Structure 1
Amino acid sequence: MNGSAQGMIDKPLVDRTAAASGVRRLLLLGGALIVAGASLVLFGRSYGEVAVVVIFGLFSFFGIAAIFASALGLVRFSSRASDGGIAKDFLDTARTGLLILDRRGQVVYANRAYGDLTGAARSGEVRTLERLLAREAEATEAIYHLANLARDGRAGQREFRLAHSLAPASQSEAVPCWYRVSVRPLASRGGQMQAWQILDITADRKHEESSFQDLQHAIDYLDKAPAGFFASDSEHRIAYINATLAEWLGVDLAEIKPYQRSFVDFLAPSCRSLYTERSNASAEGIEDIDLMTATGRTLPVRLLRRPVADDSAAPGIVRTLVLDRSGEHDAATPVELAEARFTRFFNSSPMAIATLNPSGRVVRSNPVFRRLFGAEAAEGAASFPSAIREAGHEGFRKALAEAETGRSGIAPVDAEVADERPRTIRLYLSPVPKVGPDSDECAILYGVDITEQRALEDQIAKSQKMQAVGNLAGGIAHDFNNVLTIITASVDFLLLNHRTGDPSFQDLLLIKQSANRAASLVRQLLAYSRRQTMRPKMLNLTDVVADMHLLLKRVSGDHAKLERQHARDLWPVMADIGQLEQVITNLVQNARDAMPNGGKITIATRNVRAEETAKFGYAEARRR
């Protein structure tokens, strides 16, 4: 296309701004001539010749000045001298259709792009957008809104879709088109004007729709993949999870909001500590764990983690691929099924399991081993003996040496974990044959926590010792009671042969009181050893507690302070004195054991009515 043809195409369809400026220049020239003619009429008689000379002189001066200005390029005489220069050229050749209306709604300017977009080939065919789109239901609301903004002197923009193009040449094709229309006020010397712009954005929208379709296809591929996938942050919060993994877990995909659920919640309890300790946001790796579905079913899976350096495009700094290892699919081979079963047994075992090399370092371990002996020993960062106290090092080294030689039936080793809380672990070692040239495993270590068993054994030993002491005390008490019986009988015989005024009477009475107190202690010892037969009788609790004061003082020890509080007018009770003394002794002993740092033990007696005892609830507890 040559330059002249291009100039014809870029020429605006409607441009009344140049005509208006030409009329103004013509009016100015006419006004100047009228002023000159009026001056000749008024002053022609007196100064006619001088006025004519002056007028022609001015015309000559301005003419010569215009000639020189034109020669120097200061003034241009062309048809485009008043068209606005560069700004006008820009509007004429713009890709966006531009329509300028005056305050009465008349078209002042319309560029060629506006005609191409609206199907106007000549100036007479140019119509406003309100008239052009009045019958288009898809654009009526948008144009009406913009027209109201334009009348109020405000700017606005809207986008809408039409079932066909506005250009008549494209109507037969009936291709849907998208348009962007905007309006803004434009101030001029002729008053307020409106500048309307229209742009065909169909190509942009097609590109956006194509990109959106590609994105939908990519999401569909990922959601319906035969493997699970999720993205999480450094705190294991799920940023994205695909439909396959959500289906495996038995959860609704719509309920999992970004960063609302932690992946640890879907792990089996035995694997949670292992996963949180091993999963590092900056390291990639492979890990076999068990997931817990919504129905409580365990699902063995393999995780393939890979971190990303920058998660600005898609949230979640760790991307993880989840492979089903349950063997429920037909493609699983016998080797895969066996490996999955072994992994489940290894991870869910209630005892600590690890394989060791000849130097005592751990090669592989399960979650229980990590929980008992710590991450440093489980990851092989340090030798296993560093995880137990020094007392068990020698026995462990001997057992490891025997396992290295292939000996079976190695005796277990009891050791204490090197931790703040004392725990006793029984270690079993068995030899393992070397498999493959790269394998350095020589022994399998099994660890069982026997802390509670040891505590129970110590408790049983103490109980047996106490039972032996009680039997011994009961035997001694019986023998001592026989001696006291003889002493008491002899003292009674002597008291019968001595009068009250006899000097020896008071000594004999003191001997009898001491014998009775010794008999009371014997009864308490017999009650403690539970070798005394039950003989219920009427008792006074105040006297019973008073007689037991010395024994209770010894039972309470030096760290606890023993106090007694007795009410007046106590009712008598029917009970076996031995059993009652045993109950009081056990209560004081339990109170002492509950206060290892010392305290105060108070024994109080008072009358309790039947209405108050009904609120204690001991009868219901006895029935249960």
Structure 2
Amino acid sequence: MNAERLHLLIVEDEEAHVEAIRRAFEKADANVEIRAVGTLREFRAAVADRLPDLVLIDLNLPDGKAMEVMTFTSETAPFPILVMTAFGNQEIVVKVMKAGALDYVIKSPEAFAAMPQTMERAFREWKLLQKHKQTKEALRESEVRYRRLFEDAQDGMALAEAETGRLADCNRALCRMVEREQAELVGQFQSVLHPPQENTQGGVSSTFRQHQTDARKVLESRLLSRSGKLLPVEIMASRVQMNGRDYMLGIFRDITERRRVEESHARLATAVEQAAETIMITDTDGTILYVNPAFDKTSGYTREEAIGQNPRFLKSDKQNAEFYRRLWAALVAGEVWSGRMINKRKDGTLYEEDASISPMRDAAGTIVSYVAVKRDVTREVQLETQLHQAQKMEAVGRLAGGVAHDFNNLLMGIMGYAELCRGRIDPGHPIREWLDEITRDAERSADITRQLLAFARKQTIAPKILDLNDAVAGMLKLLRRLIGEDINLAWLPGTDLRPVRLDPSQVDQVLANLCVNARDAIAGVGKITLETGNTTLDAEYCARHADAIPGAYVFLSVSDDGCGMDRETMAQIFEPFFTTKGLGKGTGLGLATVYGIVKQNSGFIYVYSEPGQGTTFRIHLPQVAAGAVAATATSKAAVPRGRGETILLVEDEKSLRVTCGLFLEALDYKVLLAETPGEALKMVDRHPGDIHLLLTDVVMPGMDGRQLSKRISAVKPGVKVLFMSGYTADVIAQRGVLEQNTAFIGKPFKRDDLARKVRDVLEAHEPASQEAATTEHVARQAAAKTGTP
């Protein structure tokens, strides 16, 4: 018997039978509590009082039959019931069993004696029956529950015969996906759910039919709706058995949003990977988690070399600790940091970046990493520096141009009066030496003005087509005297050198300044090398060198083996008045002059140097078209004198008017002096004889020199014209004075220079007529305005 104490309710009106049953349980030492009643009424009361574990009831009782209280089946009864009967009538047995009895017992002494065993067997059977009942109930509930899940699921679900692929069932969600009713789908082949191209061999339908295991299979496909819309889905399929048959259970999940997110992420990933800017992600400790390919291109480090490191391996030591402290303080506070930093590439070179570093937060708002977007601005910074340098030089140039006119006029007066005084004093007089010193100082001042104007590209020049080899060769003797005997001057002329267009005097200036600069860089014995050659610059070279333009050039290089320069010095060497020499050892205008001359002639100059490795200046000048003839040098003749010609001198500055007039009179010219253009015109009207030359200032109040020359030429057609000015080239060029076949001399000038220029103009051959020259000039002006040749 069960170790648990059972409650047995006996319903029997025969006391002897009850006693026999009680003795049998006592004999079996069964753990049973027995309660006996004799009627149906007492049975009902006993059950109401306490529910028994098992009931043993006589079929016939004084107040009725046992079946009257059996209103349930054996499966639904709250306790097992055994019915006792005195007869083994089959009909009665059937009725008893249908009424809900678990079993029946035919009364006999043997049956009473075996009642403990019967009781145990009945109770065991009852337990099994209850378990079966619970299982069935659980199965029913499970079926209801899973049916509800099946029908109410958000994902589409379908059950198809594994062998044929016919749909046995589908839920409402799947019907919505394909825009069809359940009745339309059940019984159809699974292929009705998909577009034709996915139902071929190897398509989704055949793939699932060939899936023979219980393991879940997942693939992506598309559903075809009634309206023809294609819906991307993820299908999770597994083989199941129902009622002995194999089915495929498919779960269809709409992945439209997931696809959109994936595509968005893919686009974002592609954008990040292909971005020109460097993108770096670090954790909150600064350890690099990700870099895009642009990082490799910018820094020289591969992704594998960077990931896992701290960005400090890029530090150039150009930013101090305070810079990084502020950066991290902003990031830790959750702020975005933006700024510029200088980092070091793998090859050791430095580069500048504009960086924006932002915190990245999780769903809870906690900072989990940082993302940096950085743009290499090294080239931009270089261009900005060059622009600032050019603007600075342009400002100095404007300043130089602004003072050049007044300064040149003052110098002209000083030089003129000094020369006049010197001509009236005996050679041995002590004042003569003072006058010579005044003249030399004035000439040096004039040289400084010319250098400033050369730097500003505003000096008046007379470019000629020349052979650079001849120009350099003609300067070698002077250059050797300039650099001294301790320094060897090597000359490497290029073969078949193409001609260039340049003012010969500018070649002298460039060579002298560069060689003096090289000499000063050499301590003791050294070497300076001059070299020329033809070269062609391509787009790749020009991309690396600012201001360079692709084309054919002649180069001139001046190299020395002196002390060299660092980058900081090289960045300033072309600035006017910048010098590394001691006080009184240089004006700081030499290299600025070279720079201005090169730029004025459409060339460009670069310097290559390192500390202790010497320096090379390389100048590129455009080649002149084939067939151009280089000019030959002319020797200076003795100072020519006049032959009694009449010169009309027009100058608004009294000192210049007086000194120039005296110069010309001393050279045997007749001179008419006029302060203004109006006075000059009156003089022409009153003068009875010829006027052979008009020597006039260019810029004057009321009327410029060019306009005056036209007025006078109309009255005296044969008059020659020589213009003079202390203004910069750009100012007088606006007045047509620097055009071809126009004579000009720039202030300040010496008496001998004026004498030669006047003689050259007087002896020059006229154009066909002055009217033709004027017409040609007007035509050129009109062409310049319209852009026509």
TM-score by length of 2: 0.28
Q: Quick check: which has more Rg, 1 or 2?
A: 2
